[in-house]
Amino acid sequence: MSIKIKTILIIASLLTAVSTFAAQQKADTTYTFRFVPQKDMFYVPLDGNDRELARLLECMRRNKDSILGGSLPLYVDGYCNSLDSEKENLRMAAIRSNRVKSELIVRGGIKEECFITKPHAKSHAADGDLVIVRLTVSAPEASAVESAGLSKAEEERLAAERAEQERKAAEERRKAEEARHAAEKAEADRLAKEQAARQTEQPQEITATPSESQSSAPYHFALRANLLRWATLTPDLGLEWRVHPSWGILVNGSWTSWSWNGKDRRYALWEVMPEVRYYIGKEKRGYLGAMFKAGQFNYKLSGTGRQGDLMGGGITGGYQLRLSDALSLDFNVAVGCLHADYVKYEVIDGVRVRAGKETKNWWGPVNAGVTLVWKLF
């Protein structure tokens, strides 16, 4: 009987030792914090970070003395591979680790010496760019932390933080929406003002268009007839080429030959007169120019006749009065110098007798016209 009792006592002692050993086993508690790729900011509300942070803070609260005493360090491993080079990834992982540690120092009341930090230039095997914090605590302690969950105060704090963040996000959305509406309203007002300005200017443009088209619908070619020459029984025709709205090149020609009273009276003439004009003014009706003329004449309107050559030129000026879309009157005058070499003669018994030779220069008006202009195209 005593042997059985001893056996039972031995077995009980072994079970107690095993349970004590098991109670003393250590277990790692792991807390994972996620980061936006290529960013180093620690967003607590992101993807469950708030709940992980609350679990870690609860575990730290239970083991704060051991942590501050140095017997229970916090292992911080930062992971990053979303940047171009290994150096950049290591730097990013270190910055992220420091962000998490700063949060724990402020909220958990611990020091930098409580951490063992190691950055990694790679992604964590589980998922993406992370910062992982590990504490090695006893298995019963780890189970107690897990089963205890979040304290009521922590739950309330997290709920308050989420509510505040949601309020701020809603406020930012509201401000963005107001700014968008204000920008749309400003743009609509601007367009309305531009439209009103265009409508105000449009009648003026419509009113101005006919007069402008009258003057300045510049023709390219036009026929010309000096009515003053025709009135003296001297046919006159010309052509104008409008090389530019402001520039025109003209040439006029006149010819006549009349005899009467048994050929005792004579009126004969031919002239060629080229001219260059520059049209001025907004409507291109007035002009200034330069002209040249050359020709021959034979006048005998009294007892003595004169026959010879003429040549001269001068400055022209004038104005075109529009009659219709195709017709206008051109009033012009030229002032300059006219040179004439001629012989004087008389007619005796039907025979012309030379009576001398003269040369004259005339300064003053050398041409005048009231010219009918017909625009061809």
- Options 2.70.98, 1.10.620, 2.40.160, 1.10.3470; which CATH number does 221-375 get? 2.40.160
Give Cα separations from 2 to 7, 13, 318, 370 (angstroms). 9, 16, 153, 159
- The reported pLDDT for the residue numbered 216 is 47
Say how far apart CA 324 and CA 374 lie, in whole Å. Answer: 10
| 36: number of Cβ within 10 Å | 14
CA distance 138 to 159: 30
How far apart CA 100 and CA 199 sit, in angstroms, is 64
- Name which of 60, 37, 59, 61 is nearest 47 in CA terms: 37
Contact by Cβ (8 Å): 67, 60? yes
Q: What is the pLDDT of residue 211?
A: 44
Q: To which CATH superfamily is domain 25-167 assigned?
A: OmpA-like domain (3.30.1330.60)
Radius of gyration of the chain from its Cα atoms, rounded to whole angstroms: 57
In the chain, CATH 3.30.1330.60 covers 25-167
What pLDDT is recorded for position 8? 61
Helices (H), the chain: 2-24, 49-62, 64-69, 86-108, 139-148, 152-216, 227-231
Task: Give the pLDDT score at 370.
Answer: 93
pLDDT at 342: 92
First-to-last CA distance in the chain? Answer: 144
The confidence score (pLDDT) of residue 45 equals 83
CB of 365 closer than 8 Å to CB of 337: no
Q: Where in the chain is the domain with CATH 2.40.160?
A: 221-375
pLDDT averaged per 10 residues in sequence order, the chain, 377 residues? 61 52 56 87 84 88 88 90 86 90 90 87 65 78 53 65 75 86 89 85 52 53 93 91 92 90 83 95 91 91 88 95 92 95 85 87 93 90
CB-facing half-sphere around the CA of 124: CA atoms within 13 A: 20
- For residues 91 and 131, what is the distance between their CA atoms, to the nearest angstrom? 13
Taken in order 139, 140, 146, 152, the sign of the CA dihedral is negative
